[in-house]
């Protein structure tokens, strides 16, 4: 989302850092590292996703600090890798944006929380909901987890970012509504389309790359 220095108070910066570290530790402990080392295809998906996202996030729009607009792409990565690996892959992509000067290192935790972790966890939650509903049509996975999940995840990330900026006193709530929140439904459409399209393509041509897809459920 493009958090820059001086947008958050010291208390907020520390809070985001603690949340960032807690989620990161949980992600690292969740991953089956032995299975990851044995699976070359999963490794290629992991590092390939990081590179693609790292360069995709170079393209963004926005005038006001902290209110940048860009495609996240975290939902399709979450469905491919699972939420834990998606978080690590997204953080590697964020590191690329830091190296290229697009993001400040000081705000790595805040940007990682908003841009990577929130969308990944929301996408994971929607995937679990779809799984618990036990839909038997594969279109349910495509639309709920892909299109719908991506739109909701970017809306959640945008809402968290706006709450952080509002509570820090950088923007009045009216300013956030005028410059960002009222456009949030428009941001959800391309996010859903991009992620949903990739999920559809993978499901048709390479369903094995979607580690969260249980092909036995669908007929």
**Is it the case that residue 4 has pLDDT exceeding 80?**
no
**Is it the case that residue 219 has pLDDT exceeding 70?**
no
Split at pLDDT 50, 70, 90, the class of 76 is: very high
Say what the pLDDT of residue 90 is.
96
pTM across the whole model: 0.92
**Is it the case that residue 176 has pLDDT exceeding 90?**
no
**Domain boundaries along the sequence of the chain:** 10-217
Q: For domain 10-217, give the fold.
A: Arp2/3 complex 21 kDa subunit ARPC3 (1.10.1760)
Which residues on neighbouring strands pair with residue 155, listed in sequence order? none
Say what the pLDDT of residue 28 is.
96
CA distance 43 to 22: 24
Split at pLDDT 50, 70, 90, the class of 63 is: low
Please, what is the average pLDDT of the chain?
89
Say what the pLDDT of residue 2 is.
63
């Amino acid at each position: 989302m493009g958090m820059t220095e001086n947008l958050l108070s010291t208390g907020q910066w520390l809070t985001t850092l603690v949340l960032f570290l807690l989620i990161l530790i949980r992600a690292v402990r969740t991953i089956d590292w032995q299975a990851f080392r044995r699976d070359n295809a999963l490794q290629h998906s992991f590092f390939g996703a990081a590179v693609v996202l790292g360069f995709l996030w170079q393209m963004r729009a926005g005038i006001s600090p902290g209110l940048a607009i860009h495609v996240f792409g975290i939902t399709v990565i979450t469905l491919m890798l699972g939420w834990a690996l998606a978080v690590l892959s997204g953080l590697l992509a964020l590191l690329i944006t830091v190296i290229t000067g697009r993001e400040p290192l000081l705000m790595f935790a805040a940007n990682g929380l908003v841009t990577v972790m929130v969308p990944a966890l929301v996408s994971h939650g929607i995937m679990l909901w779809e799984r618990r509903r036990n839909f038997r049509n594969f279109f349910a996975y495509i639309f709920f987890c892909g299109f719908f999940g991506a739109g909701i995840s970017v809306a959640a990330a945008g809402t968290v970012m706006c709450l952080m900026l509002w509570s820090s006193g950088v923007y009045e709530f009216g300013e956030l509504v005028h410059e960002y929140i009222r456009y949030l439904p428009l941001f959800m459409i391309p996010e859903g389309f991009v992620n949903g399209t990739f999920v559809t393509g993978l499901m048709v041509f390479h369903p094995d790359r979607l580690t969260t897809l249980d092909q036995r459920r669908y007929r």
